[in-house]
Amino acid sequence: MIHMAKPQMGDEEKKAVLEVLDSGIIAQGPRVKAFEDGFAELCGVKHAIAASSGTTALHLAMLAHGIGEGDEVITSAFTFIASSNSVLFTGAKPVFVDIDPRTFNMDAAKIEAAITKRTKAILPVHLYGLACDMDPIISLADKHGLAIIEDACQSHGAEYRGRKVGSFGTGTFSLYPTKNMTSAEGGMITTNDPVIDEKCRVLRQHGMRVRYYHDELGYNFRMTDVHAAIGLAQLKKLGKFNAQRQANARFLGDNLKGVRTPHVPEGQTHVFHQYTVRVPGGKRDSLRAYLNENGVGSEVYYPVPIHKQSFYVSDLGYKDNLPETERATEEVLSLPVHPALTPSDLETIVGAVNDFMEKSG
């Protein structure tokens, strides 16, 4: 079976973990600091704060911006549920806008109509490895005095007009094993704002500025040095991993037939966390079954949009109508694109998709 993901763990990661275990400092320590510094450099920002996951990074970012009960945050419903749950954790309300059908990212032209007196932030989700259209989002945030909190959990190293994601406001990243780089579990927050930086660090550690004196309600959202050691080794390989994903995507784009391949807008660098095609004519699920029978893994990210998840409907009363989001959930299929694919894997993927699309007319 050609799987959807394969974490790339080499001797560097193994050696780094053993060094931490031998060092006696296993919880948050010098490797976390080194990983934060390296990650800030990657994104071209002044500060990076490590967290225990992408979800806790998002949660910390919301809290650091003072988002809470009575506030609204504008985002996409076509994403992993952690994006909008992080808003719910604070007592605030996620407000969804529809996506641009070409990029699967939130449609910037729909944001202004969703802004109310209660809106505190825009949460663009850079889905599949492609940045949202940030220029209009920045203009709207400036015009209405809103924060930008980026969900860059799927987009390590992606660029929009020469700037890295995570540098447009407060950035959040996941380091889960399927991501473009991993620390096994982990997350990162990026910012140029020293106030946000300090707030995230304090909230990550039980609201503690001075040892055992607690100024506010905080959490244990720390990363360990064991995880940071893996993350540091992976950070050095991210450029190579992303280049391989891009080369794989190029091959798929040049050879797939009968499906709509990803659109990369001018001035953007897509890092292909996922290679997601649109399958027209209601054939998505039968293509998926055919691929499975022929040894090719695939996945639907995401089959149910967030506003239609059962507890959003029954407990929270969401009734949105988001036609492009809903259409995407029925048509998208992600194919393997990870850096461990061999040329023969790529031929097999293309062969199986093209076979099915040709036979099914």
Strands 170-174 and 187-191: antiparallel
Nearer to ligand PLP, 55 or 224 (CB): 55
Closest alpha carbon to 230 in 153, 176, 157, 191 = 176
Q: Max Cα separation, the chain? A: 68
CB of residue 174 vs ligand PLP: minimum separation in angstroms?
Answer: 3
- List residues near ligand PLP by CB under 6 A: 53-55, 79-80, 82-83, 125, 151, 153-154, 174, 176, 187
Q: How far apart are CA 259 and CA 279, in angstroms?
A: 5
CB of residue 129 vs ligand PLP: minimum separation in angstroms?
Answer: 10
CB of residue 82 vs ligand PLP: minimum separation in angstroms?
Answer: 4
- What is the side-by-side order of every strand in the sheet holding 268-269? 163-164, 159-160, 268-269
Nearer to ligand PLP, 79 or 242 (CB): 79
Q: How far apart are CA 329 and CA 287, in angstroms?
A: 15
Are 54 and 175 in contact, with CB atoms under 8 Å apart? yes
Give the three-state DSSP class for 219.
coil
CB of residue 194 vs ligand PLP: minimum separation in angstroms?
Answer: 25
CB of residue 81 vs ligand PLP: minimum separation in angstroms?
Answer: 8
Nearer to ligand PLP, 55 or 348 (CB): 55
CB of residue 149 vs ligand PLP: minimum separation in angstroms?
Answer: 11
Nearer to ligand PLP, 81 or 208 (CB): 81
Nearer to ligand PLP, 108 or 153 (CB): 153
Tokens of 322: 């988001």
Nearer to ligand PLP, 53 or 90 (CB): 53
- The 10 Å Cβ neighbour count of residue 350 is 18
Instruction: Output the residue with the shortest Cβ distance to ligand PLP.
Output: 54
DSSP 147-180: EEEEE-TT-TT-EETTEETT-SSEEEEE--TTSS
**Cα-atom radius of gyration of the chain, to the nearest Å?**
20
Nearer to ligand PLP, 174 or 268 (CB): 174
Output the CA torsion 192→81→94→195 (10° steps). Answer: -20
CB of residue 293 vs ligand PLP: minimum separation in angstroms?
Answer: 28
